Amino acid sequence: VIHGKLMYQAYWQLEARPLDHSADARFYFPGPSQQAAMLKLRYVIENRRGAAILAGESGLGKTLVAQTLLRSLGEQFRPRVHLVFPQMPAQQLLSYLADQLAPGSRNSVANQAAPSIEQSLRRIEGALVEHAKAGRHAVLVIDEAQHLREWRALETIRLLLNFEYEAKPLATILLVGQTGLALHVQRLP
């Protein structure tokens, strides 16, 4: 270690460790597969489709593609929620999404009981309708979605696609995960 840098960093005058296992936008390289994924996901969002899946092996840059996509979207695609830890029961998942989509709309009482599924759904739908009336379209990215193994959590996400305004989905949901995600979704009734 030389002056806080690894020897090869100092030798090559690198500011950061190369090939580190992180989703740092500075290191995004739009290779052919990343460009193809980006174009398809952008198409889904800009045409206000309900959902899409981005699945692939670990380490291919799916999270980085999703983050780069979210940063590149115009202001009409708000709010943007990027959930990176989806391993929670359906009720908690809905509560989290409601807090992200409608911050401040929940009565803030200390030690308040967790909201019911109905309360969370009302907040989510209300927030999404408000955004749609203002000309905005929400984008929800659920990263590491292969961890939505609990059937009820994945089904809950699917049911959010039923929220519509003027015959269009109120949000686009992007499920991003490892290859097992596609197989898991195919097994749903």
Give, in degrees to the nearest 5, the angle at Cα 89 between 99 and 171.
Answer: 45
**34-77 tens-digit pLDDT:** 999 999 999 999 999 999 999 999 888 899 999 999 999 999 99
pLDDT the model gives residue 187: 77
pLDDT the model gives residue 110: 44
Per-residue buried b or exposed e for 125-160, using 16+ beta carbons within 10 Å of the residue's own CB: bebbeebbeeebbbbbbbbbbbbbeeeebbebbeeb
Average pLDDT over residues 118-146: 96
Average pLDDT over residues 156-184: 92
Higher pLDDT residue, 4 or 119?
119
pLDDT the model gives residue 153: 83
Average pLDDT over residues 149-165: 85
Assess whether pLDDT exceeds 60 at residue 121.
yes
pLDDT-derived band of residue 22, with 50, 70 and 90 as boundaries?
low
- Contact of 146 with 112, CB cutoff 8 Å: no
Tokens matching residue 115 = 């909201």
pLDDT-derived band of residue 109, with 50, 70 and 90 as boundaries?
very low
Assess whether pLDDT exceeds 80 at residue 149.
no
Q: Residue 141 and residue 101: Cα distance in Å, rounded?
A: 12
pTM: 0.84
pLDDT the model gives residue 181: 87
pLDDT the model gives residue 182: 84
Q: Residue 42 and residue 174: Cα distance in Å, rounded?
A: 11
Q: Residue 101 and residue 129: Cα distance in Å, rounded?
A: 11
Give the contacts of 22 (CB within 8 A, at least 6 positions apart): none
State what percent of residues in the chain have pLDDT above 90. 58
3-state secondary structure the chain: CECCECHHHHHHCCCCCCCCCCCCHHHCCCCHHHHHHHHHHHHHHHCCCCEEEEECCCCCCHHHHHHHHHHHCCCCCCCEEEECCCCCCHHHHHHHHHHHHCCCCCCCCCCCCCCCHHHHHHHHHHHHHHHHHCCCCEEEEECCHHHCCCHHHHHHHHHHHHCEECCEECEEEEEEECCHHHHHHHCCC
Average pLDDT over residues 84-105: 90
pLDDT-derived band of residue 18, with 50, 70 and 90 as boundaries?
low
